[in-house]
Structure 1
Amino acid sequence: MYAIPFPVIDPVAVDLGPLVIRWYALAYIAGLVIGWRYAMRLGDRPDTPVRREHPDMFLVWATIGIIAGGRLGYVLFYAPEYYFAHPGEIVAVWQGGMSFHGGLLGVVAAGLLFCRVKKIPAFAFGDILSTVAPIGLFFGRIANFVNGELWGRPTDAPWGMIFPRADDQPRHPSQLYEAFLEGLLLFAVVNLLVWRFGAYRRPGLVMGVFVAGYGAARFIVEFFRQWDEGVEPLFGWLSRGQQLSIPMIAIGLYFVVRALRRPQQPA
């Protein structure tokens, strides 16, 4: 059976003895920095009450929310028994193991608190964050691929890939599927709404499209992604990722309907 060998990529980008920088960390940094700079540019638009200094101030809040929420989400959603038995490894984020759903909840909590402190409309600020969020998703999935983790199910497709940390079976490179759907495609959709259709004039619309769009993309990719070890699928086929994505789709659609039913705000 033909299979593409996994590219030889050292997960360590820089090794200076006591200082080790991994591609995984650089991917998160790239997503945060690029998203931060783009959010500041979006703050210059006249159709949103968010100003460019707000994303600038929120960068630290977002970083804490993503890392803390993503790690705790992975611990609680996917491997609570293991980490409760080895609590010292909970903080070992450099070994991999981050949950997007947990990271999203972390950013939501940080964003709501930030909006309350700075007196910013929460839905308008959520629209800004949702416009740039696919950037971080793209880099995060590329980091999963470089780490050789979260691989797909066995396949006979000609682009099947053998992952060194899995087995000798060709598998779907599901990390790249997610990078395309959750990153590139979702970025194109939400930015088209912003730049072509003035979606910021309906607060919550972009946020709803992003939340529902991510949930739908993740639900689809889970059919190609290997089930998480130790997590039994519901009804024998519904993975944990799909279970967590269903509420996201429902909540996102609610935000979309809510935004469309309200009068469009003037620029």
Structure 2
Amino acid sequence: MIMAIPFPDISPEIFSIELGSFTLALRWYALAYIVGILLGWRLAVRAVSRTDLWPANRPPMAPTAVEDLMTWIILGLLLGGRLGFVLFYQPAYYVANPLEILAIWQGGMSFHGGMLGVTAAGLLFAWRRDVPLLQMLDLLALATPAGLLLGRIANFINAELWGRPTDLPWGVIFPGPAAQSCPGIEGLCARHPSQLYEALLEGLVLGALLIVLAFRRGWLKRPGALTGIFLMGYAVSRILVELVRQADPQFITPDNPMGYVVQIGAAGLSMGQLLSLPMLAIGAGLVLAARRRP
């Protein structure tokens, strides 16, 4: 008898309202974005309100300026996340269907693309407002894990981005023919709840670490250090979880059942791992550079 956890009976929609032929719905995924941004904003405001946390006791911006920064970040997150998904994961499909690039409501967002979009928005904001760049990036690093935590939980509720088949007792029986299509397994197929693994590592553990380093250990006084820890922490978490996460279907072929984008003999790298390696290197460089400064 299979030892597994049935998927909970939770609808992806919190509520929906019928307006004639149009349906207005609030989904858990949208709520995760909204609440994550609000939590990150409040944490950033709290950080810049503490002058003792920053070099020379001078925060990079006033608390009121954080609201303006969040507007830029939201735009960078949405544009970068969507374009990253289009370019990294399904470029051929969207070249053939360019009008669907803007159809964000159909799903499809990339964290690595979102991070690049946020970075670009942050660079432009820092240049226009004369804000120290590394200190602003540290502030964004501190604010990000809350959104990652809630976003991954929303992925679980949506029954998407699940892991590979497993016989571990905490495997989850995700619904749908795609999740239940497991070669060599008869009956119900349990899979790793890889979304919850990422929520724990990228959101809870990494977020708690950054808060302790910022508010208890004085790491905001070394510009770039907190950003480096975030990049390294996310990269390591993502690389580890990708070991048990199901690859995107466009990468899976009969000759490449694991969905590697870079194959090295019988092993290889997934797209998530490949995109995380530069983050790991850049993060390590930022931490080393920051620790060498007086």
The alignment's TM-score, normalised by the length of structure 1, stands at 0.96
Of 51, 75, 89, the residue aligned with 1:78 is 89
Q: 4+ residue stretches of structure 1 with deviation over 4 A?
A: none
1:248 aligns with 2:253: no
C-alpha contact 2:43 2:142 (8 A) present in aligned 1:
no
Output the amino acid matched with 1:23. W
What is the correspondence of 1:184-263 to structure 2 with a 5 Å cutoff?
A: 184-231=204-251, 232-233=259-260, 234-235=262-263, 236-263=267-294
Return the offset for 1:49: 2.6
1:67 aligns with 2:78: yes
Equivalent residue number for residue 100 of structure 1: 111
C-alpha contact 1:25 1:94 (8 A) present in aligned 2:
no
1:129 aligns with 2:140: yes
Equivalent residue number for residue 13 of structure 1: 14
Structure 1's unaligned 5+ residue stretches are none
**1:84, 1:113 → 2: CA distance?**
29
Equivalent residue number for residue 35 of structure 2: 30
C-alpha contact 2:123 2:133 (8 A) present in aligned 1:
yes
1:88 aligns with 2:99: yes
- Residue range with higher mean Cα deviation, 29-38 or 116-125: 29-38
C-alpha contact 1:161 1:173 (8 A) present in aligned 2:
yes
The alignment's TM-score, normalised by the length of structure 2, stands at 0.87
Output the amino acid matched with 1:108. T
Q: What's the secondary structure of 1:156's corresponding residue?
A: coil
**1:50, 1:169 → 2: CA distance?**
51
**2:233, 2:107 → 1: CA distance?**
25
Output the amino acid matched with 2:100. E
- Residue range with higher mean Cα deviation, 224-233 or 110-119: 224-233
Q: What's the secondary structure of 1:43's corresponding residue?
A: helix
1:50 aligns with 2:51: no
Note the alpha carbon deviations across 1:170-224, whole angstroms, 9 max, x for none.
Answer: 0000000000000000001111111111111100000000011101110000001
What is the number of residues matched between the two proteins? 263
Note the alpha carbon deviations across 1:76-130, whole angstroms, 9 max, x for none.
Answer: 1011111222223222222221110000000000000000011000000111110
**2:241, 2:66 → 1: CA distance?**
31
**1:90, 1:35 → 2: CA distance?**
28
Q: What's the secondary structure of 2:161's corresponding residue?
A: coil
Equivalent residue number for residue 197 of structure 2: 177
Output the amino acid matched with 1:255. L
- Residue range with higher mean Cα deviation, 38-47 or 69-78: 38-47
Residue identity over aligned pairs, in percent, reads 52
Output the amino acid matched with 1:29. I
Structure 2's unaligned 5+ residue stretches are 181-187, 252-258
**1:118, 1:53 → 2: CA distance?**
13
**1:96, 1:221 → 2: CA distance?**
21
Return the offset for 1:54: 2.4
Q: What's the secondary structure of 1:14's corresponding residue?
A: strand
**2:61, 2:193 → 1: CA distance?**
38
Note the alpha carbon deviations across 1:35-83, whole angstroms, 9 max, x for none.
Answer: 1122111111212333212221111111111111111101110111112
